[in-house]
Amino acid sequence: MEKKQTAKVGLMGFGTVGTGVVRIIQGHQEDLQKQTGLGIEVHKILVQDPGKSRSIDSMKHIITSNPNDLLDDPEIDIIVEVIGGISPAKEYILAALERGKHVVTANKDLMALHGGEILQKAQEKGCDVFYEASVAGGIPILRALVEGFSSDRITKMMGIVNGTTNYILTKMSQEGADYGEVLKEAQALGYAEADPTSDVEGFDAARKMAILATLGFRVPMKLEDVDVKGISQVSKEDIAYGKKLGYEVKLLGIARRDGEAIEVSVQPTMLPKSHPLASVNGVFNAVYVHGEAVGETMFYGPGAGELPTATAVVSDLVTVVKNMKLGVSGRGMVAPYKEKILKEDSEKFSKYFLRIIVADKRGVLAQITQLLADKNISLVQVLQQPYNGGTQAEIILVTHLAAKCDMENVLKHMQEMEIVHEVKSCYRVEGGDSE
């Protein structure tokens, strides 16, 4: 039997990332050949509109709108899926695996919702499925979790994994601007979609944290297991008070394991300015990983864009081709095998930042602190100043560690107190000595 000289790729999607993938493969042929021992060739490309003009004209002869031209072609070894969305991407990937083709995808939505099913099918068929580009663009975080930490036990992952919200919060912090005006600017620059809901309400970050938790903890985490709160209610006043107390506000994803119990959340979080993640600005992403043996590590880089994302896709492609050459396909990304045990709210502990508007009269602060004490919550910082021309007062509190259920109880009681006119904001606080 003649030895294979070239690994042939079926590329599904020829937009921004797909174009980047083709550019890298064409421009790095010698390097790819040296790394893998095989040439890598884009053999066919699936698009919706074959007649559309594209920045790479030389590929016209291999473009098709029929997925079966890729799925049923025995010459194609690997399907690279960069069309996005759930359907038909899921059906295409499962069909490719059924036919014994390896898969590389950048599809975070699909892997967050159906990753378990896809990885299971890959194991059955002895195929590789890699999806490094689905989280944090060009940062090789998934491979680090699977390979770099394979001999360690990860206890916590904390990340800025959405560039749009990080850009908005950075601009609000640096310029003292309102959320609404910065969002419009982000949309004008192409950092935010016309409908920014997935980004600003935290759903994009939640999908990525579900993927990270699944790989890091080896449990089948789903999107609905993630507590999610977005940034649309973050005000420039919240950010200004945070800065006054030594914090920056970031949309932070946290996956934490204590024993076998797990919690995963995405929400605006106050971070001490000294924390490495506090200085991650603009559209950059960073993921902070804590392992029992290695301690703390941080991965930082561009979270999106044609070439950073395409680089992650081609990196996975190189791994697939190496595995084909070595005859070890299907042993990379392992399907989750541990039982999922989610923490109750009474087991989720955090420090909190509270900003409340109260009646400006004697004894109010004492009543507030007594309410907190009754729920076993003590204070780290207190700031009080006049509000609304001096007829009310604004109180900013930072608590010690408190259970989520106790804090929710406190907020409920505050709503019923005559002296509390409004609870303006409540954010988690991470980092610091009492962690």
**Residues that are catalytic:** 208
Pick from 100, 102, 81, 108: nearest CA to 92: 81
**Angle 108-125/89-98 helices, nearest 10 degrees?**
10
**Contacts (Cβ under 8 Å, ≥6 apart) of 149:** 216, 289, 291, 294
3-state secondary structure of 233: coil
The identity of residue 434, as a single letter, is S
Q: What is the DSSP string of 207-263?
A: HHHHHHHHHHH-S---GGGEEE--STT--HHHHHHHHHTTEEEEEEEEEEEETTEEE
* Helices and strands in the chain: count of H runs, count of E runs: 14, 18
- Say if strands 392-399 and 379-387 run parallel, antiparallel, or are unpaired: antiparallel
The identity of residue 242, as a single letter, is G
Q: How many CB atoms lie within 10 A of CB 85?
A: 10
Peptide bond into 88 cis (omega under 30): yes
Distance between CA atoms of residues 182 and 188, nearest Å = 10
Q: Hey, what are 200's tokens?
A: 């600003």
Per 3-state DSSP, what percentage of the chain is helix, strand, and coil (rounded to 5)?
40, 25, 30
**Which residue matches tokens 């932070």?**
252
User: How far from each other are the two terminal CA atoms of the chain, in whole angstroms?
Assistant: 61
User: Alpha-carbon torsion 192, 198, 204, 206, what sign?
Assistant: positive
Q: How many CB atoms lie within 10 A of CB 252?
A: 24
3-state secondary structure of 433: coil
Distance between CA atoms of residues 131 and 115, nearest Å = 10
8 Å CB contact between 21 and 11: yes
